[in-house]
Amino acid sequence: MEIFKPQHPSPDDQEFLMGATRIFWDIDKTKLDFERHYRGIITRVLNYGSFEDVQRISQIYQQGAIKEVLANPIRGDWFPRTYKAFCNIFNVQPDNKAFNILYVGQKIRHGMNNIFNGL
């Protein structure tokens, strides 16, 4: 499966990763590889990114790659409502093992409604 869109990843995309401190606060961003770590990058951006970050990641990766990440989620990494919303947007059956159990039953994060309204 081809995961990238044409002309991506680009130097601008690498710059995006380096500047995404609020998304990758606990990772050495210089070691992130768009191809090898695509599942983690997509998961983190959809979970923690702004609307612009989500748009950027959808410019880098093919829709099929994003759907694959949603269909086969990293276990326990997702906010429940965020995950369900993106599964709905991409028409993917949610997997309950994706949920971070610390957030089950919590209210949606402030500002997330703006992201979903813009898609």
Task: Please give the Cα distance from 39 to 76 (Å, whole number).
Answer: 13
pLDDT over 80 (residue 106): no
pLDDT over 70 (residue 107): no
Q: What is the pLDDT of residues 37-92, one digit of tens each?
A: 999 999 999 999 999 999 999 999 999 999 999 999 988 889 888 999 999 999 99
Indicate the domain borders of the chain: 11-118
* Full DSSP string of 31-82: G--TTTTHHHHHHHHHHH--HHHHHHHHHHB-HHHHHHHHHSPPTT-B-HHH
Task: Please give the Cα distance from 109 to 3 (Å, whole number).
Answer: 29
Would you state the pLDDT for residue 56?
Answer: 95
pLDDT over 90 (residue 12): yes
Could you tell me if 35 and 62 are in contact, meaning their C-beta atoms sit under 8 angstroms apart? no
3-class secondary-structure state, position 16: helix
Would you state the pLDDT for residue 116?
Answer: 57
